[in-house]
Amino acid sequence: MTGPITFQLGVPECPVDPPIIDHFFQEPESEAYSIRFVPTDELSKEETVFVSVPLESPEGRQIGTCHGELSKLLGGGRSIERIGHGGGGDFTFHLDDGTWRELSDPSFDQTVVRRAYELLQHMAQTAELALRVQLAGGTASEAARPKVVR
């Protein structure tokens, strides 16, 4: 049986604005990042959209750099396998040893948290750019054609 629901009171601060990473992961057999993100209103009014970004595309390499830095910053030597948005400024990082960390963890130094937000924002902006490129039929390869949910 489900335990009691914890209700939050009032509206907490939100340190991030769209685009926001909603769910980020790389499937083992795939050469692409699977990214669901909260788009800017300019791109879409939908709550989230999905894009598959090839690892070896310009956008994929940028996202990979951010992913690597986030793993160093938050993973303590372990790689981040998945990132999930929990609403507002709340993010969950799933590590390759099966554990997870929340960005709201008070043990994180605030400098680390701020840098994590910057990296997450950059990843989301790059994902949105990748989707715009794909929708415009730009440089993305046929394999990178958008698997878009709008």
List residues near other proteins by CB under 8 A: 1-5, 7-11, 14, 16-18, 20, 23, 27, 29-30, 32, 34, 36, 38, 41, 47-48, 50, 52, 82, 84-88, 90, 92, 94, 100, 102, 147-149
CB 117 → other proteins: shortest distance, Å?
13
CA–CA distance, 24 with 87 (Å, rounded to integer): 14
SS3 101: strand
Question: Under DSSP, is residue 127 helix (H, G, I), strand (E, B) or coil?
Answer: helix
Specify the residue, 23 or 115, whose C-beta has the smaller distance to other proteins. 23
Question: What is the rounded CA–CA span in Å between residue 66 and residue 19?
Answer: 15
Question: In 3D, which of 103, 116, 115, 150 has the Cα closest to residue 131?
Answer: 150
Write the single-letter amino acid at 124: A
> In angstroms, rounded to a whole number, what is the distance separating the alpha carbons of residues 135 and 108?
38
Place of tokens 């960005």: 103
For residue 123, the minimal CB distance to other proteins (Å) is: 16
CA 116-24-78 angle, 5° bins: 60
